[in-house]
């Protein structure tokens, strides 16, 4: 299987910020008012060919065509139906795949909106962080998505479903804070009035806990929300399932979150997957409550969603309820997401893994190898 090298491809124009476009027009000796015209064609009218940009000179259209592409990924498939969670698979220019998940009527978990469309977007192909329960990192890390590829997921899904996305969660494949610069550029294009126009408070960045970049994001002027994939309330338990904890221990993570809180006035979210016999003890629940309280964090409990090739299991419903009760009794806001629809979103990475394995892009033996690791820990 031959893959095009990323360097050969023209970047998607959807990741170009207004500032950069103005600079570029200056270099090309074009007047700066052209920027607004171009952005209007790109983000508002969403034309699919530079030739359609009828108020630009032929020369400028040719120049844009030479440097950029209007669409860099092709829609490959969708699973799910209109009223349920839908998983879109996009093929990137280099033959790789990313998943983007559309969740209808997300009951005010992230952002204030309910009955609205939430999109779960990917930030990388694969993931380097190797969380032991997650499908995204099963075949390791391939590459960062460009800012344009991140933005394009939203634009393509909006165009496919002929509707606007209200909320964005960076909870698809990859670790968004490990692709920091591209993430910030993408957020700028997604938020700007010249761009996609989604309010910053309707965007949630989810991280496995890269403490230094959490602090950097706290200094970013746009008021995006933050979710932490905690999944363990002590270093000992967290380290078993999230190797990132060896690098950034809970003390460092919580200090970065205190800094975040000093800069923001919206509440943090702790994501906590419940895995039977691993992190679902009531002791963990008590430690979680102790950590969440001073940080004013809301807790989302998510029963583990089975991943093919991994040996983890979700706890019984009684255990899930008991875990939640400890949090609620301690005065912590804690929701328990049992609905099926969310399961698909939580397990982002599986569809792409299946597709790339079938096409022989990734080694199908890798997930099998991981079964042993999973079983060993459980
Ligand atoms: N790297 C980022 C964002 C991607 S993961 C992060 O770690 O937050 C998005 C969410 O899905 C995370 O909370 C992750 O822990 C969760 N997730 C991954 N695999 C899952 C599974 N099998 N069941 C339930 N949630 C899962």
* C-alpha distance across the termini of the chain, in Å: 36
Enumerate the active-site residues: 99, 348
Residues shown for the chain: 378
The per-residue pLDDT for 79 is: 83
Residue with the smallest CA separation from ligand 1 atom 9 is: 171
Q: How far is the CA of 108 from the centre of ligand 1 (A)?
A: 19
Distance 21 CA to ligand 1 centre (A): 35
Looking at ligand 1, which atom is closest to the CA of residue 306? Answer: 22
- Neighbour count for residue 213 (Cβ, 10 Å): 20
Helices 211-218/180-191 angle, 10° precision: 30
- Which protein residue has the closest C-alpha to ligand 1 atom 18? 134
Q: What is the pLDDT of residue 339?
A: 60
Nearest atom (ligand 1) to Cα of 303: 24
Q: Cα–Cα–Cα angle for 264, 136, 167, nearest 5°?
A: 40
Considering Cα of 213, then 303, then 172, then 107, what sign does the dihedral take?
Answer: negative
Place of tokens 């998510």: 302
Q: Report which protein residue has its CA nearest ligand 1's atom 11.
A: 346
* Residue 307 CA, ligand 1 centroid: distance in Å: 11
Please indicate whether residue 279, judged by its CB atom, sits closer than 6 Å to ligand 1: no
| Nearest to 307, CA basis, from 174, 132, 140 | 132
Ligand 1 atom at shortest distance from the alpha carbon of 208: 7
Test site for ligand 1: of 175, 205, 271, 343, most ligand atoms within 8 A of the Cβ: 271
pLDDT at res. 363: 55
DSSP element (H, E) containing 320: helix 317-329
**Residue 171 CB partners (closer than 8 Å, separation 6+):** 120, 121, 204, 206, 227, 345, 346, 348
Q: How far apart are CA 270 and CA 119, in angstroms?
A: 19
Matching residue, tokens 């899904």:
157
Q: Distance between alpha carbon 19 and the CA centroid of its chain, in Å?
A: 25
Domain architecture of the chain: domains with CATH: 10-67 (1.10.150.530), 74-358 (3.20.20.70)
Q: For a pocket test of ligand 1, which of 302, 307, 345 has the largest count of ligand atoms closer than 8 A to its C-beta?
A: 302
* 229 Cβ closer than 6 Å to some ligand 1 atom: yes
Looking at residue 350, its pLDDT comes to 60
How far apart CA 176 and CA 123 sit, in angstroms, is 5
* Closest atom, ligand 1, to C-alpha of 175: 1
Distance CA 276, CA 279 (A): 7
* Cα 206 to ligand 1 centroid, rounded to whole Å: 9
Q: Specify the pLDDT at position 299.
A: 97
d(CA 57, CA 175): 41
- Structure tokens that stand for 198 in this block: 């989604």
**Helix or strand run (H / E) with residue 74:** strand 74-79
State the distance from the centre of ligand 1 to the C-alpha of 347, rounded, in angstroms. 7
| Tokens, residue 15 | 């990741």
Q: pLDDT at position 306, please?
A: 80
Residues of the chain with pLDDT under 70: 1-8, 81-83, 105-115, 339-354, 356-358, 360-378
Cα 349 from Cα 370, distance rounded (Å): 15
């Amino acid at each position: 299987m031959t893959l095009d090298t990323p360097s050969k491809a023209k970047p998607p124009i959807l990741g170009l910020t207004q500032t950069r476009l103005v600079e570029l027009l200056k270099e090309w000796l074009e007047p700066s008012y052209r920027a607004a015209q171009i952005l209007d064609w790109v983000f508002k009218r969403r034309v699919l060919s530079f030739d359609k940009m009828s108020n630009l000179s032929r020369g400028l259209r040719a120049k844009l065509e030479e440097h950029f592409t209007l669409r860099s990924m092709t829609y490959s498939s969708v699973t799910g139906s209109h009223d349920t969670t839908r998983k879109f698979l996009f093929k990137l220019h280099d033959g790789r795949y990313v998943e983007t998940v559309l969740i209808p009527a997300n009951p005010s978990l992230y952002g204030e909106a309910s009955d609205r469309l939430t999109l779960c977007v990917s930030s990388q192909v694969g993931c380097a962080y190797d969380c032991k329960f997650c499908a995204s990192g099963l075949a390791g890390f391939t590459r960062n998505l460009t800012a344009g590829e991140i933005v394009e997921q939203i634009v393509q899904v909006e165009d496919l479903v002929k509707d606007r996305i209200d909320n964005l969660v960076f909870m698809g494949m990859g670790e968004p804070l490990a692709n920091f610069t591209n993430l910030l550029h993408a957020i700028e294009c997604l938020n700007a009035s010249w761009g996609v126009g989604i309010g910053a408070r309707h965007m949630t960045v989810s991280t496995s806990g890269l403490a230094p970049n959490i602090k950097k994001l706290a200094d970013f002027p746009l008021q995006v929300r933050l979710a932490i994939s905690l999944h363990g309330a002590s270093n000992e338990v967290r380290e078993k399932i999230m190797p990132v904890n060896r690098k950034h221990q809970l003390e460092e993570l919580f200090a970065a979150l205190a800094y975040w809180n000093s800069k923001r006035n919206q509440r943090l979210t702790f994501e906590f997957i419940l895995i039977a016999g691993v992190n679902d003890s009531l002791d963990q629940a008590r430690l979680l409550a102790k950590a969440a309280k001073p940080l004013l964090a809301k807790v989302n409990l998510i029963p583990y969603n089975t991943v093919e090739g991994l040996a983890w299991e979700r706890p019984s419903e009684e255990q899930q309820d008991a875990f939640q009760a400890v949090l609620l009794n301690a005065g912590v806001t804690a929701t328990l997401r049992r609905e099926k629809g969310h399961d698909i979103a939580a397990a982002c990475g599986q569809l792409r893994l299946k597709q790339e394995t079938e096409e022989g892009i990734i080694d199908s033996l890798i997930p099998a190898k991981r079964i042993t690791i999973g079983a060993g820990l459980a």
